Structure 1
């Protein structure tokens, strides 16, 4: 990590009935990273509780520790640099589903609502982020969204062409139409 300050952001992780849940996160490789202390603050639990949940997550094979944990060099208040363990979004979400607190419950309500919308509709959008062009990870995904919509629309045209072709062939057979 070259400069943590450049990759630190005040990020809206999820929205509860009480409003946006904001947390100061470290951004890298299209994921967010938090320390155990920050995860504890996010879900309203002590660092020891978060540590125990993470240990169980790794022991049970829910996540591979090598894939979701990174050491980053941070500068403490005393001006010295220290290696600090950070956990990526996969680990944060897994902890959120295990922790018993009001904040974690609000997170699960939001996550379930989001997943349900995806299962029912086949998509989920953060409308405000797309409208405002917020580039959380230094990328604007709006162009990718447009390209995916174009691909879906092209597939839709092929689908309607197939139906039209089938109807034409059925009419040919039914009325003995001969092509010239």
Structure 2
């Protein structure tokens, strides 16, 4: 399985590869500047709340002596809304000017809207 990860340069520029993004909880934690335990906790919460479905945003990479769960861009973006780190705040404000991707590439935005009852809903935007 070929996979890429998102990086944030020292200048704050977000690089999203053109190939599919699949990252482990540890890689996501490093990217957004939080502890991996918190990322795992929020992932479980996102699934429990029904905001995302495991079969759509998660793949398991099997090794001879173990496995690791990988999450796609939709989950990474959803997680960025749940943390207040400077790195996490870069994701909701992403646009073509701040990324290294070519203009013809499509960025997916995750719009999270708070409802009056305190729950959230999301949708993909192209």
With normalisation by structure 2, the TM-score equals 0.64
- Structure 1 or 2: larger helix share? 1
1:108 to 92, 108, 126: 92
Corresponding residue of 1:66: 55
- Write out aligned runs for 1:45-60 (5 A): 45-60=34-49
- Write out aligned runs for 1:1-180 (5 A): 1=1, 7-9=2-4, 18-22=11-15, 31-74=20-63, 81-110=65-94, 114=95, 129=102
Contact 1:32/1:88, CA 8 A, preserved across alignment: yes
2: CA distance between counterparts of 1:99 and 1:84? 23
Q: Secondary structure at the match of 1:73?
A: strand
1: CA distance between counterparts of 2:67 and 2:34? 23
Q: Which structure 1 residue ranges, 4+ long, deviate > 3 Å from structure 2?
A: 11-16
Q: Which has the larger radius of gyration?
A: 1
Q: Secondary structure at the match of 1:70?
A: strand
Structure 1: any 5+ residue segments left out of the alignment?
2-6, 75-79, 118-123, 135-180
Structure 1 pair 127–83 and aligned structure 2 pair: CA distance change class (3 A): closer
Corresponding residue of 2:114: none
With normalisation by structure 1, the TM-score equals 0.47
Structure 2: any 5+ residue segments left out of the alignment?
106-126
2: CA distance between counterparts of 1:68 and 1:128? 22
Q: How many residues align?
A: 104
Offset of 1:15 from its aligned partner? 7.5
Q: Which has the higher contact order (CA 8 A, sep 6+)?
A: 2
